[in-house]
Amino acid sequence: MSVVIGQPRDRVDGPLKVTGSARYAAEFAIPDLAYGALVMSTIANGRIREIDTGAAESAPGVLAVLTHRNAPRLHAVVPVPAGFAGSSLLPLQDDRVYYQGQQIAVVVADTLERAQHAASLVRVEYDEEPPIPRLEDALDAPFPPSSIFGTPPYSRRGEPEQGLAAADVRLDQTYTTPTEHHNPMEPSATIAAWDGDHLTIHDATQSISFTQEVIATMLEMPAENLRVVAPYVGGGFGCKGTVWPHPALAALAARQTGRPVKLVLTRAQMYTSVGYRSPTRQQYSVGATREGKLTALVHRGISQTPAYDEFAEFTGSLSRILYACANVETRNDMVTVNAGTPTIMRAPGEAPGSFGLESAMDELAYALGLDPLELRLRNYAERDFETGHPWSSNGLRECYRRAAERFGWERRSLTPRSLRAGDRLVGWGMATACYPVWIFPASALVRLLPDGRALVQTGSQDLGTGTYTVMTQVAADTLGLPFERVRVDLGDSALPPAPTSGGSDTAASVGSAVYLAARAVRDEVVRRAIVDPASPLHGSAPEQVVVEDGRLFVAGNPARVETYAALLERQGGAPVEARHDCTDTVMGGNGPRFGMHAYGAHFVEVHVDPLSGEVRVTRWAGAFDIGRVLNAKTARSQLMGGITFGIGMALMEHTVADPRVGRILTPNLSGYLVPVHADVPDIDVQFVGAPDEHANPLGVKGAGELGIVGAAAAVANAVYHATGVRIRDLPITPDKLL
């Protein structure tokens, strides 16, 4: 029985962070450090005719200026996103400019201020060509991607046209989401230091192993000669999940100058250097009977990509599986624009896709005169209609029941503008959350030390989500050790490899590797005890032995007991260790046999000022099926974080660019608004469901992205209930309500 897993343990790295002892990528003290500063393009399309670096090279303290004229050649990486490179566009390789803010030079100096000043002295002349900076400008030339993370961009089942024709009620609407940026607290940063032909990179990354692989490929060096270090990461949300060019630039600059080089992106440079969430345009045609049963669902989504890459926002993923419908067609197309490569952003595809789908379901409920929750219950999917497979587990009905009960949904009036609080209009809305369960190859080493402590090592990374803490809990529980007697090492490519911390996969992937390695250690120690004539457990059956609090004893006979430390000392004092490599991406390794998803339900209250159009979120109740909960505190924090993301997506977040030339006009947190404490109410998070025995050895489903899915739609649906105004284009700003 678990005694540590599931407990709301405080983060083991918490004291280090609040005292400033935790070192992030840019904070390592490296002797003789030099500093890099980037020069960015000021046009959106064309070529560099002339780049004058003379004044920069003559400036005090300048060590090098790299441009396409003198930068070493970089080796092409595999196409995006298969190789986990953020972009296939290599920096400083030619004179071509594809978008505003493209990296076109790097200046290195002995201080940051001197590097920044010298970068301002670089003069560039261009041969400019007319750009196509916006998705709206390219809608006449859509095309399908070859695939979206290995999934076909087009799907069809049944006869959608016939289903729409047979519908008693039909809805045809278009929903849009804008360009959004990740804005983690820590900007992307790299320190690169050479020692002969060996390179160490301190990098702010969600993917230590892939950073090692991709940068080694770019530099054409053996991966084993490249060490990537990232013990702490100050948030990422996807922009640090793939590998961008700036670590390679730092490495080139360090090799050129013979000194370690620190390259930290400014906040403005983050907006053009590490991806963004593409704007989307989603067209829905939905049909239903008078009783509210879906007869057809047709969903076409369009997102943007640059000419040199292919990255599509998979908005149709939920439309394929979330509701029971025999006739479904989804299509995800792209258009080419003069902008950088989009990338994964918290719940890529599902976040914008759920805004369209869950808004359409709300509109359909009003057209039918049905409660929005009742419409969803009438179309609950008993299986995965896309594949025909059963669900591995599905607690969605319980999510609906629990969250609706906590919120008081039964008291809701269906009529818009029927609730008030003083002079404010009050609205109640709801939406469904759903996110796939991912598991990727991961490795972990667990070592039981002679003094009865344990060491866990895996090359994963902690983004602030609690990875150090939950891995400690998994190992402690499996080994039967006190929480305080387990240490977890993360954040170094010298450790056993682990996948990107993305897709809410870390608990499932790395956690399973840690669990299986720890179980192997425990089983080996038990084996040694029962065959050792000097052990009180000698002759016992393995299944009779219990491990708890650093002791081994026979169930029902606690007098037959000895400690780990005593056993290991008697047997020579060497540690016992095991490494486990989880190579299967699906349990059993025989291909998918189940539809595997995490689920949730959002219920939200908003207050709207009818005079100013100001929207305030005042109450939130959510219930979530995430399988086994490894730590109730960190899991709740993850879901609250996703919901907060959803509030920002609904009401604030919008990267504004000049429609003529694509220059970003809001490249900072004063112009790009994100929620602050005053914008977020107390969020009631409930966990339902049970461990998913089919998903992975730990039975976890992941929580990091589930919270944002459906959250923006829940707010939009509540705003409609409050005002009678349906907003189909995010964000919901006061001007759209007046």
Catalytic residues: 705
SS3 letters across 100-112 = CCCEEEEEEECCH
Count of CB atoms situated within 10 Å of the CB of 246: 26
Q: How far is CA 450 from CA 17, 369, 445, 516, 548, in A?
A: 30, 69, 16, 21, 17
User: Can you name the residues that pair with 145 across neighbouring β-strands?
Assistant: none
Tell me the one-letter amino acid at 587: M
User: What's the rounded Cα separation, in Å, for the pair 663 and 102?
Assistant: 11
User: Can you name the residues that pair with 580 across neighbouring β-strands?
Assistant: 444
Q: Which residue carries 């039967």 as its tokens?
A: 480
Token pair of 222 as six digits? 């053996």
Tell me the one-letter amino acid at 190: T
Token pair of 275 as six digits? 């991806």
Tell me if 432 sits within 8 A of 376, measured CB to CB. Answer: yes
Rounded to 5 degrees, what are φ and ψ at 455? -120, 130
- Which ranges of 560-631 does DSSP label H, i.e. alpha helix? 564-570
Token pair of 333 as six digits? 């197309």
Pairing of strands 280-288, 294-305: antiparallel
- Report helix, strand or coil for 284: strand
Q: Which residue carries 């301002």 as its tokens?
A: 120
| Cis, bond preceding 184 (omega within 30 deg of 0) | no
User: What's the rounded Cα separation, in Å, for the pair 666 and 699?
Assistant: 42
Tell me the one-letter amino acid at 290: R
Tell me the one-letter amino acid at 480: G
Tell me if 704 sits within 8 A of 504, measured CB to CB. Answer: yes
Tell me the one-letter amino acid at 307: A
CA-nearest of 214, 379, 353 to 289 is: 379
Chain CA centroid to CA 299, Å: 24
Pairing of strands 328-336, 294-305: parallel
User: What's the rounded Cα separation, in Å, for the pair 88 and 244?
Assistant: 9
265 contact partners, CB below 8 Å, separation of at least 6:
38, 187, 188, 189, 246, 273, 274
User: What's the rounded Cα separation, in Å, for the pair 646 and 563?
Assistant: 49
Q: Which residue carries 């007991």 as its tokens?
A: 561
Count of CB atoms situated within 10 Å of the CB of 3: 14
User: What's the rounded Cα separation, in Å, for the pair 465 and 701?
Assistant: 15
Token pair of 343 as six digits? 């990338």
